[in-house]
């Protein structure tokens, strides 16, 4: 980075680098691809002063999340301020309309903001949003009907603008008329707030914005005649009766106008961005066409990779450091969330489009914390419906040749047009009318990891011991499968049995073409292992993962591996890895009969005298107490096997350093929730500024989701660790098998799917 006073100095007197001086959020580079345009900044100068803009620009995930988290120090009050001040003529025009857009949920400070947010939240919860899905689907179908036989369409003009607008109007409770006028108004509003209209355009923009303002006021007056009608604004009017000081007239007028823009424009842009991205990756588009269950997470990945909100703005209310850089009081910050969404420190292989990405929904496109977008779940639902309708009815659609253009502004992004084309003769519904009526289940709220599956082909089935088969699974199209590390497992759906079983991967992690599992036929199988013993080469299976909550500590000075029976599968992969890394290790493998123990010959060949076999029928007995009598500092013990063996190991290592023993759990020890034995408690969410009750008959995870808070989840049985939340205060009743003893005792983390509060209250960093 070149630092030179010739490029100017920041308000703190630091020289500005060449690239910071050149930063232009209205130029083509930023407009076309903000994360790529700011790659240099994420890597070299994650917080810099832009003399052209007069803003401090922040580009890394952790810094931006910390800014969202502290909404007192980083005030949102400038979030809707014009980024380029308008001239006097335009201001006079705005004044002539009585334009007085005031604070809204987006840009108001405490203490006013949170009481309003709480008062108006209810209609946005997943339960309340459910009722809107039929309308979204009906509209999407009707609009697609209009162009399905044309072979060519501009999806922005012919679908994506009008449907979210109509949905937004319904949601807000606004009459449907004047749609074209509204469309013009909301474009003008974007340019007025976030863009840089030329002086000669400013007056025209100001007239449109003034008209929009007046229109919003008239509609609100109409609504006052019938405040019991459905709609969010009417809900606000009813709340006004209860809380007149919180939900004021001027507030409702401002929300009316801002709500129309926020509710539809961002969704239209987000869907256009998503479709553009997916159609640019035809392999991914095909996968979605073949498997609609992938759509909810694909929506999150599109929002992460190419969301419709590129950046937000904040005002520093006091002198503060961001990412180690001094920011003076009163400084304006441009926090580029689209850049944070491509930060390799948070998202592995961040530039890749991965619709199965486990943490895709951690994107910051909806913001985070107290000012997170309230309409996020409405937007998610609409995007899912659009993708589902289009993948089913137009799977053969492709992007037409075109130049993408964007309305120049720093924050809201989406192509003005999205031309697609297809051969109508190949429309699936011409051959089969049932295509028209099919629909997948839309997931309202945070996508669950349980929905992310992939199809694999059984390439080989080998019998590796009595009652044990090894399955070699490959991608149907021959592409590489996801990378995995020893200890990882996959979940396999067992045909139509409705059962899913977890199996550790036992092959070679370096072999990207295949995943291998070994399956023991359980005597008391409810259908899972029996089903897998019946599969043949050429069959297809559905799997989830690989996922890993049994990771090997590759920095350990020495390792002891203990496997019982089929528990050898993860342990075999770990021991191979220890050998490759040159870590001293011992491998203990016990079983009743040699013929029923998998991989014995391979293990002997690979591990030589580091392997000890303990075979009951041959007089062997595994004396764990003797093996582990003498604790060895630093040595880590990894074990997988029957419950009795695990319990014996826990007893044998009780005097070892804490956390020396690592056990693979496949079965949850938590039963179903029994409300008669639980107590209700409440959780204060420090970052979001709300308190959520958790009833005796619900999990913390369910309560958080019901309150519109995103938390990842997968197993929902305390096994995988994906629903972890940070705890700031309160005693935790831990019920998972993920955290170690010392992690539990530290009391700073908990699994929200199963663990609860010991007492009446917990404070969480959410
Ligand atoms: Fe797996 Fe909670 S979702 S531990």
Q: Read off the pLDDT band of 190 (50, 70, 90).
A: low
pLDDT tens-digit map of 414-429: 898 999 999 999 999 9
**Residue 469 pLDDT more than 80?**
yes
> Which atom of ligand 1 is nearest the CA belonging to 738?
4
Q: What is the pLDDT of residues 282-310, one digit of tens each?
A: 999 999 999 898 999 999 999 999 999 89
CATH of the domain at 580: 3.40.50.80
Q: Are 136 and 167 in contact (CB under 8 A)?
A: yes
Cα 670 to ligand 1 centroid, rounded to whole Å: 11
Is the domain of 563 the same as that of 519?
A: no
**Lookup: tokens for 578:** 């220890």
| 531 lies in the same domain as 394 | no
The verdict on the CB of residue 715 being under 6 Å from ligand 1 is yes
Domain span at residue 147 reads 88-309+365-421
Does residue 595 sit in the same domain as residue 638?
A: yes
Instruction: Give the number of other CB atoms < 10 A from CB of residue 682.
Output: 15
Residues 170 and 237 in one domain: yes
Nearest-atom index, ligand 1, CA of 712 = 3
pLDDT tens readout for residues 589-600: 999 999 999 999
Work out which ligand 1 atom sits closest to the CA atom of 720: 1
Comparing 65-74, 108-117, 155-164, 462-471, which segment has the lowest mean pLDDT?
Answer: 108-117
Residue 4 has pLDDT above 70, yes or no: no
CA of 652 to the centre of ligand 1 (A): 28
Name the residue with higher pLDDT: 422 or 659.
422
- Strands, DSSP E only, in 623-758? 636-640, 661-663, 681-685, 690-694, 724-729, 732-733, 749-751, 756-757
- Mutation probe of ligand 1 site: the residue of 719, 725, 744, 749 with most atoms within 8 A of C-beta: 719
Q: Do 403 and 278 share a domain, yes or no? A: yes
Chain centroid to Cα 708, Å, comes to 14
In this predicted model, what pLDDT tens digit does every residue of 36-64 receive, in sequence order?
999 999 999 999 999 999 999 999 999 99
pLDDT for the residue 11: 86
Distance CA 598, CA 239 (A): 66
pLDDT given at position 49: 96
Separation in Å, CA 176 to CA 53, 67, 111, 170, 208: 39, 38, 35, 8, 19
Cis peptide before 638 (omega within 30 of 0): no
- pLDDT of 245 over the 50 cut: yes
The atom number, within ligand 1, closest to the CA of 753 reads 2
Q: Which domain-ending residue is among 518, 547, 576?
A: 547
User: Is the domain of 41 the same as that of 111?
Assistant: no
- 635, 663, 691: which is the final residue of a domain? 663
In a domain, 131, yes or no: yes
CATH of the domain at 465: 2.40.30.10
Cα(688) to centroid(ligand 1), Å: 22
State the chain's mean pLDDT as an integer. 88
Count of structural domains, the chain: 5
Same domain for 564 and 515?
Answer: no
Average confidence (pLDDT) over 105-111 = 75
Say whether both 328 and 299 belong to one domain: no
**Residue 697 pLDDT > 90:** yes
Return d(Cα 695, Cα 568) in angstroms, integer: 41
Would the pLDDT of 2 be above 50?
no
Domain membership of residue 428 (yes or no) is no
Phi and psi angles of residue 701, each rounded to the nearest 5 degrees, phi first: -60, -45
**250-254, 485-489, 585-589, 647-651: which has the minimum mean pLDDT?**
250-254
702 in contact with ligand 1, CB cutoff 6 A: no
Indicate whether residue 716 lines ligand 1 (CB < 6 A).
yes
- Are 729 and 654 within one domain? no
**pLDDT at residue 445 tops 80:** no
Q: Which atom of ligand 1 is nearest to the CA of 752?
A: 2
Does 527 share its domain with 598?
Answer: no
Q: pLDDT tens across 122-155, in order?
A: 888 888 898 999 999 999 999 999 999 999 999 9
Sign of the CA dihedral with 259 first, then 261, 264, and 269 last: negative
* CA–CA separation, 711 and 448 (whole Å): 9
- Is 82 within the bounds of a domain? no
Are 298 and 325 within one domain?
no
Q: Sign of dihedral through CA atoms 463, 469, 474, 480?
A: negative
* Residue ending a domain, choose from 628, 663, 698: 663
**Cβ of 704 below 6 Å from ligand 1:** no
Average pLDDT estimate for 370-376: 85
In a domain, 109, yes or no: yes
End-to-end CA distance of the chain: 36
Q: Distance of CA 59 to CAs 16, 34, 53, 77, 215, Å?
A: 16, 10, 15, 20, 38
- Residue 644 Cα to ligand 1 midpoint, Å, equals 24
Q: Is the CB of 719 under 6 A from ligand 1?
A: yes
Long-range (24+ apart) CB contacts under 8 A made by 606-612 are 606/575, 606/576, 606/579, 607/575, 607/579, 610/575, 610/579, 610/585, 610/586, 611/587, 612/586, 612/587, 612/588
């Amino acid at each position: 980075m070149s630092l030179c006073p010739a490029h100017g100095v920041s308000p703190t007197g630091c020289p500005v680098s060449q690239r910071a001086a050149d930063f232009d959020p209205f130029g083509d580079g930023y407009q076309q691809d903000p994360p790529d345009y700011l790659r240099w900044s994420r890597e070299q100068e994650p917080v810099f002063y832009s003399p052209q803009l007069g803003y401090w620009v922040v580009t890394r995930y952790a810094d931006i999340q910390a800014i969202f988290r502290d909404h007192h120090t980083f005030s949102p009050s400038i979030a809707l301020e014009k980024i380029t001040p308008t001239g006097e003529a335009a201001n006079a025009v705005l004044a002539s309309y009585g334009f007085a857009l005031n604070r809204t949920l987006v840009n108001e400070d405490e203490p006013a903001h949170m009481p309003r947010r709480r008062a108006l939240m209810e209609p946005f919860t997943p339960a309340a949003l459910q009722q809107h899905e039929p309308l979204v689907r009906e509209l999407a179908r009707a609009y697609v009907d209009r162009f399905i036989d044309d072979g060519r369409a501009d999806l922005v003009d012919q679908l994506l603008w009008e449907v979210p607008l109509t949905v937004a109007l319904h949601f807000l409770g606004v009459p449907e008329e004047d749609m074209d006028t509204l469309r013009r108004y909301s474009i003008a509003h974007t340019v007025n707030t976030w863009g840089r209209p030329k002086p000669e355009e400013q007056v025209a923009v100001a007239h449109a914005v003034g008209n929009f303002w007046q229109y919003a006021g008239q509609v609100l007056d109409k609504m006052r005649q019938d405040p019991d009608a459905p709609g969010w604004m009417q809900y606000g009017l009813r709340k006004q009766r209860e809380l007149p000081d919180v939900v004021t007239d001027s507030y409702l007028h401002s929300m009316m106008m801002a709500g129309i823009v926020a509710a539809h424009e961002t969704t239209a842009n987000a869907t256009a961005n998503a479709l553009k991205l997916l159609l640019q990756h035809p392999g991914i588009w095909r996968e979605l066409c073949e498997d609609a269950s992938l759509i909810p997470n694909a929506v999150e990945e599109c929002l992460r990779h190419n969301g419709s909100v590129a950046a937000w703005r904040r005002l520093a209310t006091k002198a503060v450091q961001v990412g180690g850089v001094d920011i003076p009081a009163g400084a304006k910050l441009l926090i580029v969330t689209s850049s944070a969404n491509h930060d390799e420190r948070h998202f592995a292989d961040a530039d890749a489009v991965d619709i199965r990405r486990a943490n895709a929904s951690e994107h910051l496109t909806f913001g985070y914390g107290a000012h997170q977008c309230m309409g996020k779940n409405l937007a998610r639902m609409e995007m899912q419906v659009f993708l589902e309708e289009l993948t089913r009815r137009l799977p053969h659609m492709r992007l037409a040749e075109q130049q993408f253009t964007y309305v120049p502004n720093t924050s809201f992004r989406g192509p003005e047009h999205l031309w697609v084309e297809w051969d109508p003769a190949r429309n699936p519904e011409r051959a089969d009318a049932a295509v028209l009526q099919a629909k997948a289940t839309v997931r309202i709220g945070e996508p669950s990891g349980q929905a992310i599956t992939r199809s694999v082909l059984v390439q080989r089935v080998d019998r590796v011991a009595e009652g044990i088969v090894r399955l070699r699974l490959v991608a149907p199209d021959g592409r590489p499968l996801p990378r995995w590390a020893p200890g990882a497992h996959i979940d396999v759906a067992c045909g139509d049995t409705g059962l899913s079983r977890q199996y550790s991967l036992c092959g070679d992690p370096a072999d990207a073409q295949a995943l291998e599992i070994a399956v023991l036929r359980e005597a008391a199988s409810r259908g899972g292992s029996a089903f897998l013993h019946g599969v043949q080469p050429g069959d297809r299976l559905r799997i989830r993962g690989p996922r890993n909550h049994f990771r090997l500590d590759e920095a350990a000075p020495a390792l002891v591996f203990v496997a019982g029976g089929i528990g050898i599968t993860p342990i075999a992969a770990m021991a191979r890895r220890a050998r490759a890394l040159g870590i001293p290790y011992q491998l203990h493998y016990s079983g009743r009969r040699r013929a029923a123990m998998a991989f014995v010959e391979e293990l002997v060949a690979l591990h030589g005298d580091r392997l000890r076999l303990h075979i009951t029928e041959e007089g062997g007995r595994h004396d764990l107490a003797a093996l582990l009598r003498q604790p060895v500092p630093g040595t880590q013990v990894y074990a997988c096997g029957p419950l009795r063996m695990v319990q014996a190991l826990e007893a044998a290592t009780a005097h070892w350093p804490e956390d020396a023993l690592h056990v693979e759990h496949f079965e949850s020890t938590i039963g179903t929730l029994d409300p008669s034995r639980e107590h209700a408690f409440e959780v204060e969410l420090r970052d979001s500024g709300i308190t959520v009750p958790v009833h005796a008959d619900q999990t913390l995870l369910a309560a958080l989701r019901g309150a519109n808070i995103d938390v990842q989840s997968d197993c929902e049985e305390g096994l995988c660790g994906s629903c972890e939340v940070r705890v700031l205060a309160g005693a935790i009743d831990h019920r998972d098998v993920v955290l170690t003893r010392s992690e539990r005792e530290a009391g700073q983390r908990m699994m929200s799917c199963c663990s609860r509060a010991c007492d009446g209250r917990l404070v969480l960093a959410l």
